[in-house]
Amino acid sequence: MIYQLYPRSFYDTNQDGIGDIPGIIEKLDYLKGLGIGAIWLNPVYASPNDDMGYDISDYEQIMKEFGTMDDFKKMLEEAHKREIRIIMDLVVNHSSDEHQWFIESRKSKDNPYRDYYIWREGKQKKEPNNWASFFTPSAWKFDESTGEYYLHLFSEKQPDLNWENEKVREEIFRMINNWLDLGVDGFRMDVINLVAKYPGLLDGTGDKTPSGYVFSPEYFANQPMTFTYLSELYKRCFIGRDCMCVGETPFTDTETAKKFLKKEDPMLDMIFQFELMDIDSGKSGKWEIVPYTMKDFKEVVARWQEATKDSWNSLFWSNHDQPRPLSRFVTWSTQEERVLAGKMLAVAMHLQRGTSFLYQGEEIGMINATFDSVDQLMDIESIQYYQERKKVGREEEAWNAIARKGRDHARTPMQWNAEKNAGFTKGTPWLLVNESYPLINVEQAMKDPDSLYYFYKQLIQCKTTSDTLLYGDFTLLHAMDDNIFGYARRLNKDEIQILCNFTASPVPLVYDVPEESKVILSNYKEHFKDILQPFETIVVQSKAPM
């Protein structure tokens, strides 16, 4: 179980309203208590925070708001003392425009760093091609000083690095090796499948975005050279080391995943796929929110389990880019139901085959926040989207989408207790504290033996001590049921059935388990053989049929 920790919102020790590394150190025992084996830290490098640390201005320095390199080393040491591994975020598709390389690069066309980034001349006084960016209308920005454009798939302050340039790759490999030598245990590699761009940078042919550009992953995701670069990176940095790497790979289907995960030519240990996170996204992207069914959900889960059966899968309900799962995948109305549903979701995901990622706050059942106006938002994606839609009078529609899927929902401060600012800071928090904190907080969860926190602890214990749950194969059960998600994990003669009612109503279900089976985990004390109670989850172990 890997705990994804968002440092900015975890715990503030110097009361500047921003979480920090000393705050992480202070809470390591809390995390140890939960039973996790590793922490993935969102970026902690020097950054002007245009995209909350995903715009790095120095890969070898710690963000000053978070602390010093000595604080970092101490955290590493303290984590390792507790047998907790530290996985860093690695953001090398782009840097900040305030990185020394880019400051040099933009100075002149013959600067030695010019080729560290992707510069092109305009076409008839317009951008070099029609590509849309994730965050702004065009993926190109005109730079006065040399009269050329640079490519930025994300914000204007995140110029894409030119991986074709061997010097860039060498700098990156050196930097990765430095961190590994320092003792970090691995990396979560940000949009790592976007590093190679199609050589001709051709115009995209898909649908136009409202501002007239074309989102063109066919030319910037999973290009042939991506695999070459990642294989090279693996050989130069990871081989022979006790570390792990998980790649964040949008636009990746199961066939492409197999290429990243093949054992003969290692590139990545796991990937983060997007099909589940995009299950409610329409053709035009995440802001077009569309309905989906239980069958759609099962189809995605089962297909990814199948595709990774010879490699390894990653399991997660959320991360710092996604809304809170309790506000997204289930509909509940009372606090009691929230806790039941939280437990059910935990089982539904984490007893599948793969490594689990638990996003900060999920262990206490945090939910989406209420934002009253765009001024309260901090996330560049939501803010830019809102402003673009406002230009064409569609801000209300944009606001409704942000209320459901804005990235700030996941980023509000961790709720430690019922005191002011949820005990996160005595200063002014950098992002508003979710108003639910008097009810939903760590202190409360620790006092209640039936809390989600203790359930997670039990679940982690269950999974990490069972070979069947770790290594057993996966079979979908009740495939046609519209309300129940069920699966079996089998290893040799051992079978564990996992049944989950995703609804707030009782659902009839006859479960077919042998007499001598036993319930090893559930969110109810009492069970009925022909019904699953509201949000009930039950994990039943038996000997598999011969």
Residues that bind ligand ISL (CB under 6 A): 51, 54, 91, 134, 154, 190-191, 248, 250, 286, 320-321, 381, 407
- Pick the closer one to ligand ISL by CB: 278 or 296: 278
Provide the 8-state DSSP code for 160. B
Distance of closest approach, residue 86 Cβ to Ca ion, in angstroms = 19
Distance of closest approach, residue 155 Cβ to ligand ISL, in angstroms = 8
From Ca ion, ligand ISL, none, interface partner of 219 (C-beta below 5 to 8 A by class) = none
Query: CB of 501 within 8 A of CB of 534?
Result: yes
From ligand ISL, Ca ion, none, interface partner of 20 (C-beta below 5 to 8 A by class) = Ca ion
Round to the nearest angstrom and report the end-to-end CA distance of the chain. Answer: 32
Note if 190 is an active site residue: yes
Cα–Cα dist 279/406, whole Å: 16
From Ca ion, ligand ISL, none, interface partner of 191 (C-beta below 5 to 8 A by class) = ligand ISL
Residue nearest Ca ion, CB atom distance: 20
Distance of closest approach, residue 445 Cβ to Ca ion, in angstroms = 24
> Could you tell me if residue 49 is left (phi over 0), alpha (psi between -120 and 50 degrees) or otherwise beta?
left
The residue among 445, 449, 439 whose CA lies nearest residue 335 is 439
- Pick the closer one to ligand ISL by CB: 157 or 478: 157
From Ca ion, ligand ISL, none, interface partner of 54 (C-beta below 5 to 8 A by class) = ligand ISL
Cα–Cα dist 252/268, whole Å: 14
- Pick the closer one to ligand ISL by CB: 51 or 495: 51
Distance of closest approach, residue 270 Cβ to ligand ISL, in angstroms = 15
Query: CB of 79 within 8 A of CB of 28?
Result: yes
The residue among 153, 173, 167 whose CA lies nearest residue 116 is 167
Q: How many residues does the chain have?
A: 546
From ligand ISL, Ca ion, none, interface partner of 463 (C-beta below 5 to 8 A by class) = none
Which amino acid is residue 518, in one-letter code?
A: K
Q: Which residues bind Ca ion (CB under 5 A)?
A: 12, 14, 16, 18, 20
From Ca ion, ligand ISL, none, interface partner of 134 (C-beta below 5 to 8 A by class) = ligand ISL
- Pick the closer one to ligand ISL by CB: 338 or 409: 409
Query: CB of 14 within 8 A of CB of 8?
Result: no
- Pick the closer one to Ca ion by CB: 72 or 316: 72
- Pick the closer one to ligand ISL by CB: 320 or 389: 320
Query: Residue by residue, what is the 3-state secondary structure of 244-312?
Result: EEEEECCCCCHHHHHHHHCCCCCCCCEEECCCCCCCCEECCEEEEECCCCHHHHHHHHHHHHHHCCCCC
Distance of closest approach, residue 19 Cβ to ligand ISL, in angstroms = 16
Task: List beta partners, residue 360.
Answer: none
- Pick the closer one to ligand ISL by CB: 48 or 534: 48
In sequence order, the 6+-apart residues with CB closer than 8 A to the CB of 402 are 287, 371, 377, 382, 385, 386
In sequence order, the 6+-apart residues with CB closer than 8 A to the CB of 522 are 536, 537, 538, 539
- Pick the closer one to Ca ion by CB: 14 or 483: 14
Provide the 8-state DSSP code for 544. P
- Pick the closer one to ligand ISL by CB: 92 or 460: 92
Provide the 8-state DSSP code for 374. G
From ligand ISL, Ca ion, none, interface partner of 18 (C-beta below 5 to 8 A by class) = Ca ion
Distance of closest approach, residue 285 Cβ to Ca ion, in angstroms = 34
Query: CB of 304 within 8 A of CB of 313?
Result: yes
From ligand ISL, Ca ion, none, interface partner of 51 (C-beta below 5 to 8 A by class) = ligand ISL
Distance of closest approach, residue 426 Cβ to Ca ion, in angstroms = 10
Cα–Cα dist 376/327, whole Å: 19
From Ca ion, ligand ISL, none, interface partner of 430 (C-beta below 5 to 8 A by class) = none
Note if 248 is an active site residue: yes
Task: List beta partners, residue 272.
Answer: 248
The active-site residue out of 248, 269, 379, 388 is 248
Distance of closest approach, residue 441 Cβ to ligand ISL, in angstroms = 25
Cα–Cα dist 502/339, whole Å: 13
Distance of closest approach, residue 330 Cβ to ligand ISL, in angstroms = 20
User: Would you state the structure tokens that stand for residue 425, as one six-digit string?
Assistant: 């800071």
Cα–Cα dist 194/94, whole Å: 10
Strands 494-501 and 244-248: unpaired
Phi, psi values for residue 178, rounded to 5°: -60, -45
The active-site residue out of 190, 269, 363, 481 is 190
**Which residues have a catalytic role annotated?**
190, 248
